[in-house]
Amino acid sequence: MSKRTSHYVCQSCGATYAKWAGRCDACGEWSTIVEEALPDAPPGGLGTKGKRSGRGIEFVPLKGQNEQAPRRASGIAEFDRVLGGGLVRGSAVLIGGDPGIGKSTLLLQAAAALSKSGKTGCAYVSGEEAVEQVRLRAERLGLSEAPVELATATNVRELKAALDRPEAPDVVVVDSIQTMYVDSLDSAPGTVSQVRASAQELIRVAKRRGFAVLLVGHVTKEGAIAGPKVLEHMVDTVLTFEGERGHQFRILRAVKNRFGPTDEIGVFEMTDGGLIEVPNPSELFLAERHGDVSGACVFAGLEGTRPLLVEIQALVAPSPLGTPRRAVVGWDGNRLAMVLAVLEARCGVSVAGQDIYLNVAGGLRVAEPAADLAVAAALLSAVSDRPAPGETVIFGEVGLSGEVRAVGQTDVRLKEAAKLGFTRALCPAARGRKTRPPRGIALQEVAALGDLVEIFL
């Protein structure tokens, strides 16, 4: 009889079975049993288990010198910053994003940039495209001269055989993990068990040989294909590549990073010739701003360590519907409901019977509570049909009792506003020490949402 190489594991309780079943007998959950590869036997065989006492581990003091993790920077500053300064040796990075968002393009550009110095060997393994297609893409991007090694592979065993050698490349891109399969499992590529087993194998080789592995993972809105969610705990760094389809901006965001900060973003602009770095995103996001229209104001936000000025637009119109519409793009709909409720309950500004549309211009997604005050200002400006005060940036968090709360990094926000020629800032009263605004900016402190209403109505 051939040796069994896989078993079935309930993803809910961990019970194992020799055969697949629809329902787990142990915990009663349905559709949780998934085929998984059996772990390799420990060295020395199973027979030695529990007999040897093992070599004791060695404790070291917390205080001590670490070797600096050697990093490989690609020279694409937006990419390197999100990684925390470059790719760490032996690390695994997952890059998730919707199909067609530009992951393959980004990674081919990154691989080309990394290999350009001649010191970093890069391999690009495609499971989705033929070598000719990747070459055509490289030609379009003007990268055909880059010394990147190309291969097409979907079988992890073959890929492992090629990479598990001392002269392995320093950086390996695998595009995408959903196309890879381990031949000891019966399930189709792209299923949870295949995605997980393939990633596990590749990461193990990467750690052993010390190369950085970049795994591409597609996410689908419905989650029909096993998304990279199952991989997030296996890799060192999770990046997401996002953007609105109709917009030319793409944002690379670190969601998890063992070797650097999270919340850091890299901004790119999509062009015919590939992705271009955007070193000063605020300028780009404000480029199409028209000064004197009602319902728009500029929010001085922060993405990671970087200030980002964006325009927030609101439109308030009489609703023909029984339940008025609340449409939000780029912000949290629940947060809008809260700001509206505070405006109504604490400041007497009613928008009942009105449709409300809120948009963050440029396709950016804002997640900071500091945007509350800017949203309230855009709404008030739309309701009163009066433009917001000119050349003014706004930020601050709004509490349920209508108070405006201080937010972090006021100095950084104000400095960016001054740099872009703004002359005034509406912001919360500073906690503790007084804020010294940069030259050219007049501060107007807003203690409660009522103060803002007075400015606008």
Rounded distance between C-alpha atoms, residue 421 and residue 390, angstroms: 11
Rounded distance between C-alpha atoms, residue 259 and residue 88, angstroms: 8
Tell me whether residue 104 or residue 294 sits nearer to Mg ion (CB atom): 104
Which does residue 153 touch among Mg ion, ligand TYD, none (CB within 5 to 8 A, set by kind)? none
Two tokens at 74?
A: 């690609």
Label residue 162 exposed, middle or buried (CB < 10 Å: 0-12, 13-18, 19+): middle
Cβ 126 to Mg ion shortest distance, Å:
8
Cβ 122 to ligand TYD shortest distance, Å:
17
**Which residue's CB atom is positioned nearest to Mg ion?**
104
Cβ 309 to ligand TYD shortest distance, Å:
24
**Interaction between residue 54 and ligand TYD (CB under 6 A):** no
**Do residues 137 and 126 lie in contact, with contact meaning Cβ atoms separated by under 8 Å?**
no
Cβ 202 to ligand TYD shortest distance, Å:
18
**Interaction between residue 142 and ligand TYD (CB under 6 A):** no
**Interaction between residue 219 and ligand TYD (CB under 6 A):** no
Which does residue 187 touch among Mg ion, ligand TYD, none (CB within 5 to 8 A, set by kind)? none
Tell me whether residue 101 or residue 114 sits nearer to ligand TYD (CB atom): 101
Q: Is the dihedral of CA 335, 340, 341, 345 positive or negative?
A: positive
Q: Pattern 81-100, binding to ligand TYD, x per CB under 6 A?
A: ----------------x-xx
Rounded distance between C-alpha atoms, residue 253 and residue 7, angstroms: 36
> Tokens 């109505």 correspond to what residue?
457
**Interaction between residue 179 and Mg ion (CB under 5 A):** no
Q: Binding residue for Mg ion (CB under 5 A) from 84, 91, 92, 104?
A: 104
Piece of the chain touching ligand TYD by CB under 6 A; list 73-81, 271-279, 294-302, 429-437:
271-279
Cβ 108 to Mg ion shortest distance, Å:
9
Q: Binding residue for ligand TYD (CB under 6 A) from 180, 219, 252, 275?
A: 275
Q: Binding residue for ligand TYD (CB under 6 A) from 74, 91, 105, 193?
A: 105
Q: Pattern 55-94, binding to Mg ion, x per CB under 5 A?
A: ----------------------------------------
Q: Binders of Mg ion among 392-411, rule CB under 5 A?
A: none
**Do residues 407 and 395 lie in contact, with contact meaning Cβ atoms separated by under 8 Å?**
yes
Cβ 95 to ligand TYD shortest distance, Å:
9
Listed in sequence order, the residues at least 6 apart from 17 whose beta carbon sits closer than 8 Å to its beta carbon are 7, 8, 9, 10, 33
Rounded distance between C-alpha atoms, residue 172 and residue 149, angstroms: 9
**Hey, what amino acid is at 194?**
Q
**Interaction between residue 178 and ligand TYD (CB under 6 A):** no
Q: In what order do the strands lie in the sheet with 16-17?
A: 16-17, 6-10, 33-37
Q: Binding residues for ligand TYD, how many (CB under 6 A)?
A: 13
**Interaction between residue 274 and ligand TYD (CB under 6 A):** yes
Cβ 97 to ligand TYD shortest distance, Å:
6
105 sits in the region (left: phi over 0; alpha: psi -120 to 50; else beta) called alpha
**Interaction between residue 243 and ligand TYD (CB under 6 A):** no
Rounded distance between C-alpha atoms, residue 279 and residue 134, angstroms: 28
Q: How many CB atoms lie within 10 A of CB 151?
A: 16
Rounded distance between C-alpha atoms, residue 157 and residue 68, angstroms: 33
Which does residue 275 touch among ligand TYD, Mg ion, none (CB within 5 to 8 A, set by kind)? ligand TYD
**Do residues 319 and 274 lie in contact, with contact meaning Cβ atoms separated by under 8 Å?**
no
Two tokens at 115?
A: 């290999």
Tell me whether residue 104 or residue 194 sits nearer to Mg ion (CB atom): 104
Piece of the chain touching ligand TYD by CB under 6 A; list 22-30, 44-52, 270-278, 407-415:
270-278
3-state secondary structure 256-283: EECCCCCCCEEEEEEECCEEEECCCHHH
DSSP code, position 79: H
Two tokens at 64?
A: 């001590």
**Interaction between residue 222 and ligand TYD (CB under 6 A):** no
Q: In the chain, what's the furthest Cα-to-Cα distance?
A: 83
Cβ 276 to Mg ion shortest distance, Å:
19
Which does residue 363 touch among Mg ion, ligand TYD, none (CB within 5 to 8 A, set by kind)? none
**Which residue's CB atom is positioned nearest to ligand TYD?**
102
**Do residues 316 and 378 lie in contact, with contact meaning Cβ atoms separated by under 8 Å?**
no
**Hey, what amino acid is at 244?**
E
Residues contributing to the site for ligand TYD (CB under 6 A): 97, 99-105, 270-272, 274-275
Residues contributing to the site for Mg ion (CB under 5 A): 104
